[in-house]
Structure 1
Amino acid sequence: MPDAPTRSDLGRLLPLRARHLHRLRLGRTLDVGCGVGRHLRNCGPGSVGVDHDARAVLTARAHGLAAYTTAEFEADPELGRPGAFDSLLVSHVLAHLDPAGGRHLLGRYLPAVRPGGRVVLITPQPAGYRADPTHVRFVDLPALRELAELAGLRIGRGYSHPLPEPAGRLVKYNEYVLVGIVP
């Protein structure tokens, strides 16, 4: 196995996340669990973020992003109207939820995605999972596929990003990505 990446190597991996989202061409995206907006700022025009953490939402707004708390999003029927978004992004959220919580989250936000729209689920690989003590469940590609199938999605592509999966044992920025399609 090659040497573990250095700190400078890891610094070069982070911009790959932004390029990755651009290449997916998600269009108007609902970013669930947007936090401070790291992914939201790389989503298409008209994209919206939602997060339960009011402080994170305020930070995202301070950067000019359209972010709402869960309560604000649910209180505004226009925000989550059926088919309002081209895509749903759930990045680094599912590892914080038990299986029932993950199913509930998808069930709550999927109606806001148009038929034929995409759902992108991203979870950390082993090194990233271990790096965050608030993670409650390791969610690999088979678990993402199962969740997507239970949600009624057509399964698209599942892959490791930005490096091959074995790197995820050492590189905390390596992620599992599953792209599903809303029927």
Structure 2
Amino acid sequence: MAIKNINNQKGFTLIEMIVALSIFSILAIFVLDFYIKSSKNYIGSMSTREAQQNIRSTMEMITRYAKLSRTANWDGSTLSLNVRDENNINNYTVSFTRILGRVNPGDNKQYDVIQMTTGGNSRPFTSILTSQNLNISTFNVEFSPGVPTIITITLGGRTEESDDATATTRQGQSTEQGLSRNGTFGEVRFRTSVALRGQYY
């Protein structure tokens, strides 16, 4: 059996291998950390856009009925609108209420949502307008006297988890992410003024 002399052959020593692995590990940690932060920012921006779209569509629904209303009443949590039908003959009531929604299966918490009720007291029909995992933190209506009456509606939802010390919700905070401000919860908020044009009919 022939024995080869390998003294002149080049290769990696154990120390060189350890140094190379250490450098590779450090680079891998930086790359992974960058990827995780980028993914969180992307998911956060997507959730924020979804929250904005959700609140915007709810606001559009409320203002659509408000424009057709003859009267509006606000009790602190419910906006009741007396609306004329398309034929301008009959009136019906549409109400929008901030209520505690059902338990969100994602985190077993309950969040405030906006519920729409139509059909009057005899045959009411209810539907939830906002997402069950977006916590409605602001729903307020202000009146400006005049003819027609002008109401200013403010609607907002929390889009980032906050700790219990800063939370003002009844059961927890929203699971949506984004719009972080100085480590506290973020909020998407819309405000609009609507004239009750139904007073002209």
- Computing the radius of gyration from Cα coordinates, the structure with the larger value is 2
| Bucket of the pairwise TM-score, normalised by the shorter protein | under 0.3
TM-score, length of structure 1 as denominator length: 0.28
